[in-house]
């Protein structure tokens, strides 16, 4: 059976499955955001869009479990009360992290992408890490979720299948019998991958901006010493 005939006849039914998976994934992303608006907690979380440089400077390290918290509050990880005696120089603590072998944030344990310089998106801690860089699949899986594979596999086939249906229905062209149909198939297969890549680049640019904030703070501390 011609592969294009198979795509045209069978996979269009997967459009509904693909949309259902996408809709479910969007709900999974929205639920934490909505709950965060309804139930405000005291846990120290680095707001990637709104927190200022001063907020980074006002962070302290819990000496009992090394969690990043604010002075005068209870550590969300171990319950230890944080006072002046718990404060530690962020620059000194950062230098001690350079030798870590795994790409994991030492403060909150959040997995990272294996960059040489990174700002943890979970707690905002800036540090340098040594380790193997993650593969493209691992980055997609970590940034978008487990369904990234399904997006790539289904999207690469279903998107051109939709084009087949529209073109054949309204232009009366049988795309399975000419070279133009093959070209549309490969172009359509690339589009879902490009959309995901653009999404990753947005996250990367945001993280780069956060890194500059911490880097500036580290420079201030270095000049002061």
User: For 7-64, how does the pLDDT look when each residue is reduced to its tens digit (9 = 90+)?
Assistant: 556 555 556 566 666 666 666 665 655 555 544 443 343 343 334 334 444 556 666 6
Please check whether residue 44 is in contact with residue 73, taking contact to mean a CB–CB distance below 8 angstroms. Answer: yes
59 is in which domain, residue-wise?
Answer: 43-133
Does a structural domain hold residue 6? no
More confident residue, 135 or 108: 108
Q: Decide if 186 is inside a domain.
A: yes
Please name which of 50, 46, 51, 73 lies closest in space to residue 62, comparing C-alpha atoms. 73
Whether residues 151 and 193 fall in one domain: yes
Could you tell me the pTM of the whole model?
A: 0.23
More confident: 178 or 52: 178
Please count the structural domains in the chain. 2
Q: Are residues 80 and 67 in the same domain?
A: yes
Instruction: Note whether 163 and 93 are same-domain residues.
Output: no
Same domain, 162 and 111: no
Same domain, residue pair 158 and 196: yes
Structure tokens of 111? 């997995």
Q: Based on the domain organization, do 55 and 120 belong to the same domain?
A: yes
> pLDDT grade, residue 219 (50/70/90)?
low
Same domain, yes or no: 15 and 92:
no
Per-residue confidence band for 79, with pLDDT thresholds at 50, 70 and 90 = confident
Q: Is the dihedral angle over the CA atoms 111, 117, 119, 125 positive or is it negative?
A: positive
pLDDT band at 205 (very low <50, low <70, confident <90, very high): very low
Cα angle 181-199-29, degrees, rounded to a multiple of 5: 110
Q: What pLDDT shows up at residue 107?
A: 62
Do 68 and 111 fall within a single domain?
A: yes
Establish if 1 belongs to a structural domain: no
Neighbouring residues of 201: CB distance < 8 A, sequence distance ≥ 6: none
Instruction: Tell whether 53 and 74 lie within a shared domain.
Output: yes
Phi first, then psi, for residue 203 (nearest 5°) are -60, -40
* Residue 78 pLDDT grade (very low, low, confident, very high; cuts 50, 70, 90): confident
**Structural domain includes residue 192:** yes
Least-confidence region, from 29-43, 113-127, 179-193 = 29-43
Q: Is there a single domain that holds both residue 145 and residue 178?
A: yes
In this prediction, residue 8 carries a pLDDT of: 59
Who wins on pLDDT, 155 or 207?
155
| Segment 94-112 mean pLDDT | 50
Of 117, 133, 149, the one marking the end of a domain is 133
């Amino acid at each position: 059976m011609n592969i294009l005939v198979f795509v045209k006849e069978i996979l269009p039914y997967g459009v509904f499955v693909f949309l259902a998976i996408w809709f479910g994934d969007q709900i999974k992303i929205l639920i934490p955001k909505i709950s965060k608006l309804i139930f405000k907690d005291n846990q120290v979380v680095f707001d990637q869009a709104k927190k200022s440089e001063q907020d980074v400077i006002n962070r302290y390290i819990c000496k009992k479990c090394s969690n990043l918290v604010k002075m005068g509050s209870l550590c969300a990880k171990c319950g230890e009360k944080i006072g002046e005696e718990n404060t530690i120089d962020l620059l000194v603590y950062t230098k001690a992290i350079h030798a870590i072998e795994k790409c994991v944030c030492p403060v909150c344990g959040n997995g990272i992408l294996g960059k040489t310089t990174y700002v943890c998106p979970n707690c905002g801690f800036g540090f340098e890490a040594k380790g193997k860089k993650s593969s493209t699949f691992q980055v997609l899986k970590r940034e978008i979720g487990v369904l990234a594979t399904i997006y790539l596999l289904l999207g690469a086939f279903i998107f051109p299948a939709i084009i087949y249906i529209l073109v054949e229905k309204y232009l009366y062209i049988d795309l399975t019998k000419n070279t133009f149909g093959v070209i549309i198939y490969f172009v359509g297969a690339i589009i879902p991958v490009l959309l995901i890549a653009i999404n990753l680049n947005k996250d990367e640019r945001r993280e780069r901006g956060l890194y500059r904030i911490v880097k500036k703070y580290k420079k201030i501390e270095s000049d002061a010493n």
